Chains A and B, each alone.
Chain A
Amino acid sequence: MIRFTSLARLALSEYFVLALTLVWLLAMLPFVPGLGTPENLKNIVSSALPLLILAVGQTIVMISGGIDLSVTAVIAWASITGGLTISADGGLLAGHALAPAAGVIAMLACGLFAGLLNGLAVAVFRIPAFLATLTSMTFFGGLAIWMTKSKNLHRLPEAFNAIGREMPLSALVTVLVAVLAWWLLRGSNAGRWFYALGANPRAALVSGVPVKAVTFAAYAASGLCAALASVLYTGRLETASPVMGQRVLLDVIGAVVIGGVSLTGGRGELHWTAFGVFFMTVIDNSLNLLGLSNFGILMAKGLVILAAALVDSWRNRYAAA
């Protein structure tokens, strides 16, 4: 029998969100046909992959004390740039054997550029991260629409589409991103700088942390992750779109915060973010399969996330006490 103290210990542990997700899955299984089937579990993982890549980038930025609202616009801009590079409907390298690789490189370049621009605004011009990335969200969102006059681009190379459509490939990309990000945060000496900057920027500066370089690196990482997520989103829809990913911002920030990464910086782990992403995806999937009306799903999702946030806030207070 699980005693109260054990439950309290679980609630205070870093695996709390994972446990909550598993309990939710367990509780929903009798009511949601097909929820526990291997096909649906594969579906949950497939849906979580691009969100996890986005959330990894956001985690690095948030640990360093910032926030990146521009990820949705970067997804769209990278998507349409990739399309203009490789689409058989007039893409620059249409039909070229190296087009898929060139498309990915062009998209990553977009992410890197947007990230560095955000870094410049925050680190050099000292614009608050919220405002800087909100502005770049507007700019890159508009740029994406302007580039094709809001038209979608189709007929992308099969090899490119496969990155988003074939789960082993998407999973491989996601795992590589996660491992690289883990190494950056926890395996390298520079990792401590991100935490130090997020915990106390002034103290970090005094302690010799290269604050500007770390800020640049955080936003560059986030931009690159957004571009990589864009590769997955674009590939699986076989369409480059200037409005790609417009609605994912709340899911990304929600997943990272529910995972336990601090909005004020200095605290967080990549596996917490992974738990948050898993939680958000499972909630979405199970409510979708439950047969609730759309309004019911939205309300239930809001309530479940609110409950998770309340429990998280409660456990943080007790953990600090």
Chain B
Amino acid sequence: MDSRATKLVTVLALAAGLAGCATGPRQTVVGVAFETLQTEYWVASRNAIEAELKKQGAQMLEAIADGDANRQMEQVRNFIARRVDGIIVVPKDAQTVIPMIRDANAANIPIVLFNRPPAKSDAKSVSVVADNYSITKETVTYLAQQATKLPGKRKAAILMGDLADMNAISRRDGFEDALKPFSGRIEIVSRIPTEWNQEKALAGITNALQAHPDIDFIFTSSDLLLPSIVSALKNAGKYHKTGEPGHVWLAAFDGDATAYRMLKEGYLDADGVQDVGFDTAETVRAVLALKAGTTLPAIIVDKGFVITRDNMAQMAPRMWGANLSGK
């Protein structure tokens, strides 16, 4: 290397030293790592976390991994290198987040998982998650009660999420358990894997409707997949409002703006809602409390609620999707 390059490296090293020596009080900084921002739910959550951190006088440092767990790991390590005061992660799945939690534990930086809990391990974190099982069970029970008011048997289908995601598993289990008491009246004829992917959901539900043209009861594990269902039902000539002949009983999970619009229009019968306001406020509270040395339970549960055509007027103000669509 010539002398100019040597000078450049020397200046760089000096500047690095000076930057490292900077002292003085600083604002609380929280690193927020989302797996993706591809759905309304994640965008609404991200904005709510940012607003909540601002309210608490903290700065948000954000990173989006675009569905790449390795990139998310690098981003979390960047937060650790910057010595942030806390980390909030929406992990891609329950397992790949464990090395990230271990890294944060080793650096003594509190870490809170938003919406998706980790698999069991020795790594220490706090998770704020909706009670996916109970909300789904309540939603599907309501749908089954309405559907069995009519004579005859119902043929049911479920669109499942990525089964590496604990939330997808809980929602599937909630669906299965809710229908057990109705086993004489409702038969599950199709369980469609989607991996939270709209194209896979469309192909899956289209195939299911071809194999079982009498499907008249559908639950989707996420509102994200509603457009795929609508498209498949329209193609099959089965997209009708509640009360109209040929209506397919339809329920979903999340509480987004599409679900709210479909509820209002009469195409959707029920939606399990995650309380984004509660979840984001608790997540921020948890990360700041952990930083202050408070001990918290490993799981903070959002009980959520079910919005139906019957209670829509009462529950819509708490539904984040209704707020997004301006009610």
Q: Chain A: residues with CB nearer than 8 A to chain B?
A: 2, 6, 10, 15, 19, 22-23, 25-26, 29-30, 33-37, 39-40, 42-43, 46-47, 50, 149-152, 154, 165, 233, 236-239, 241, 243-248, 284-285, 288-289, 291, 293-294, 297
What 7 A-B pairs come out closest when comparing CB atoms?
A36-B16, A34-B82, A40-B81, A294-B64, A247-B68, A39-B81, A47-B74
- Pairwise interchain contact B70-A43, C-beta atoms closer than 8 A: no
Contact A154/B119 with A22-B12, A33-B22 known, Cβ cut-off 8 Å: yes
| Interface residues of B, Cβ cutoff 8 Å to A | 1, 4-5, 8-9, 11-12, 15-20, 22, 29, 34, 37, 59-64, 66-71, 73-75, 77-78, 80-83, 93, 95-96, 98-99, 119, 162-164, 193, 195
**B150 → A minimal CB distance (Å):** 36
The interface centre, meaning the residue of B80, B95, B195 with most chain A CB atoms within 10 A of its CB, is: B95
Query: Chain A contacts of B67 at CB under 8 A?
Result: 243, 246-247
Option from B4, B18, B96 in Cβ contact (under 8 Å) with A2: B4
Instruction: Report Cα–Cα, A2/B164, bound state, in Å.
Output: 57
| Apart from A37-B81, A150-B162: 17 A-B pairs, beta carbons within 8 A | A22-B8, A22-B12, A33-B82, A34-B83, A43-B80, A43-B81, A50-B70, A150-B195, A152-B93, A154-B119, A238-B95, A238-B99, A241-B69, A244-B69, A247-B67, A288-B75, A297-B63
A-B Cβ contacts below 8 A, count? 122
What is the CB-to-nearest-CB distance from A157 to chain B, in angstroms, rounded to a whole number?
15
Q: How many angstroms between the C-alpha atoms of A211 and B77 in the bound complex?
A: 44
Q: Which residues of A have CB within 8 Å of B71? A: 247
Q: In the bound complex, do residue A289 and residue B78 qualify as a contact, i.e. CB atoms below 8 Å apart?
A: yes
Cβ contact within 8 Å between B81 and A25 = no
Pair A29/B63 contact, Cβ less than 8 Å = no
A288 to B74, CA, bound (A): 10
| A244 in contact with B16 given A10-B4, A151-B164 (CB within 8 Å) | no
Report the minimal beta-carbon distance from B218 to chain A, rounded to whole angstroms. Answer: 22
CB distance from B45 to the nearest CB of A (A): 14
- Cα A152 to Cα B93 with chains together (Å): 9
The answer to whether A238 and B78 touch across the interface, beta carbons within 8 angstroms, is: no
Asked if A245 meets B193 with Cβ closer than 8 Å, knowing A26-B11, A40-B81, the reply is no
CB <8 Å contact, A154 and B95 = yes
Taking a contact as CB atoms closer than 8 A, the residue among A30, A35, A152, A233 that contacts B70 in the complex is A233
